[in-house]
């Protein structure tokens, strides 16, 4: 059986995963946002006006991973069994990892990548008043596993 994204009329469709076996699927993605030294100090000392940057961005990433199919048109809605977002304040910015897991017929890499992206955007939003030189970098999938 051939799985395709384009129908006979040339219209985009979701891939039919009905005949694929259910498997435990895990994906890990990461990204980085470069910040000025003064911004890093404000985050470390929890002095940002909008609140705790790292905690809020972790929660935002989790929420985003859960909404991925609403944001990316051809993504399947997935029953996630676990999503975790870890932020790490580093010398030059914030490193973010997102792990998504499900038992299903399609992968969770888009959920992991969406979690990272939105967590990074949340850091950006919370710091934009004090840092005009921020930039996001090196956003990518580290691994995806199916068992």
Active site residue ranges: 125
In this structure, the strands spanning 23-34 and 135-146 are: antiparallel
Distance between CA 10 and CA 44 in Å, rounded? 52
For 79, the token pair is 């029953």
Distance between CA 52 and CA 50 in Å, rounded? 7
The answer for residues whose C-beta is within 8 angstroms of residue 102's C-beta and 6 or more apart is 24, 25, 78, 79, 80, 81, 108, 111
For 107, the token pair is 């992968």
Quick one: how many helices (H) and strands (E) in the chain? 4, 4
């Amino acid at each position: 059986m051939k799985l395709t994204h384009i129908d006979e009329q040339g219209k985009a469709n979701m891939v039919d995963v009905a005949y694929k076996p259910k498997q435990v699927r895990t994906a890990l993605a990461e990204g980085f946002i470069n910040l000025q030294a003064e911004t890093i100090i404000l985050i470390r000392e929890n002095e940002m006006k909008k609140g705790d940057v790292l905690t809020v961005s972790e929660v935002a990433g989790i929420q985003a991973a859960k909404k991925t199919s609403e944001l990316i048109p051809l993504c399947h809605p997935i029953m996630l069994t676990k999503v975790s977002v870890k932020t790490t304040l580093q010398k030059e910015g914030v490193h973010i990892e997102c792990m998504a897991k499900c038992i299903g017929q399609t992968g969770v890499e888009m959920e992991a990548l969406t979690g990272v992206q939105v967590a990074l955007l949340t850091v950006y939003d919370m710091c934009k008043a004090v840092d005009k030189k921020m930039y996001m970098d090196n956003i990518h999938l580290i691994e995806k596993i199916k068992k």
